[in-house]
């Protein structure tokens, strides 16, 4: 009996505290959420800019490897592509603004979830040139829109706030007389094209030679493809599934099976 009670300073018995099972489980789930989505899972890279393609994509050399970088949580106007109309002059204005900041510069790249990539294999990153935050600059100057990602990041509030200010001031794409009337996402939908059709980075001649992550390999049947290096799984038929290197592949029959094995679903991006 003595082992079931605690004595206070006055010698009065105090009941042992018990937590409801539901509260205990909720607490564990909350801790798991913090572990999976905390900044501790982020990663920082140092890179040298090689080429700027448009307002939200550039090529950088990271540790001797060339990587295509996609600015996280922004969406720049589409550039014209051959006979296909773009969102000009805003597409080129966005590219020129990014070029003025990035050309021949060293950059710091911060990812939200380690090796987070979009459906085209581009590394999703917050980009810093010294103390300047390029993602925010693109939005604050009216050269790009804020794009709400599936999973908000640690800079989401700053980027959304920058768009609100640019809209209020009528800057760039928000100009009250000559601004852009259609969001890039809606423009792509109307033309029934994805972002890769408009973006010149897709036609960069050295792409397949210098970045093995873009090589495609056949996927047997309707298997879900897991990447053992990133612990991300890709759905059958997706382009990202075909780009997982054979040495890193793990196959699953269902999303439930993949998640039980500790893999998380790939987040697509525009």
Task: Spot the catalytic one: 95, 122, 188, 243.
Answer: 122
Of 227, 224, 199, 203, the residue nearest 84 (C-alpha): 199
| CA–CA distance, 239 with 223 (Å, rounded to integer) | 13
- Both structure tokens of 125: 């990153």
State yes or no: is 92 an active-site residue: no
CA-to-CA separations, 223 to 219, 241, 253, 261, in angstroms, rounded:
7, 9, 6, 15
Measured CA to CA, the distance from residue 125 to residue 128 in angstroms comes to 9
Instruction: Answer whether 230's CB lies under 8 Å from 112's CB.
Output: no
Of the residues 66, 67, 73, 78, only one is catalytic, namely 78
The catalytic residue among 70, 72, 95, 188 is 70
Alpha carbon distance 130, 124 (integer Å): 19
Respond yes or no: is residue 78 known to be catalytic.
Answer: yes
Catalytic center residues? 70, 78, 122
């Amino acid at each position: 009996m003595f082992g079931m009670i605690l004595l206070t300073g006055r010698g009065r018995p105090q009941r042992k505290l018990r937590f409801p099972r539901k509260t205990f489980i909720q607490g564990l789930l909350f801790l798991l959420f913090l572990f999976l989505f905390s900044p501790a899972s982020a990663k920082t890279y140092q890179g040298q800019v090689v080429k700027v393609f448009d307002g939200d994509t550039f090529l950088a050399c990271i540790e001797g490897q060339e990587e295509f970088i996609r600015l996280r949580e922004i969406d720049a106007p589409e550039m014209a592509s051959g006979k296909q109309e773009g969102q000009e002059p805003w597409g080129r204005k966005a590219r020129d603004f990014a070029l003025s900041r990035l050309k021949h510069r060293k950059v710091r790249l911060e990812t939200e979830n380690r090796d987070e990539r979009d459906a085209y294999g581009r590394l999703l990153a917050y980009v810093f040139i010294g103390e300047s935050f390029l993602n925010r600059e693109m939005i604050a100057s009216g050269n790009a829109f804020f794009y709400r990602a599936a999973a908000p990041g640690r800079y989401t509030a700053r980027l959304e706030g920058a768009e609100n200010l640019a809209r209020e001031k009528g800057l760039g794409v928000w100009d009250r007389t000559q601004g852009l009337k259609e969001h890039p996402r809606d423009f792509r939908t109307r033309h029934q094209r994805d972002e890769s059709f408009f973006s010149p980075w897709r036609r960069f001649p050295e792409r397949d030679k210098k970045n093995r992550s873009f090589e495609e390999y056949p996927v047997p049947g309707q298997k879900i493809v897991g990447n053992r290096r990133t612990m991300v799984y890709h759905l059958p038929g997706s382009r990202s599934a075909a780009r997982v290197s054979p040495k890193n592949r793990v196959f699953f029959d269902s999303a439930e099976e993949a998640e039980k094995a500790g893999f998380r679903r790939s987040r697509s991006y525009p």
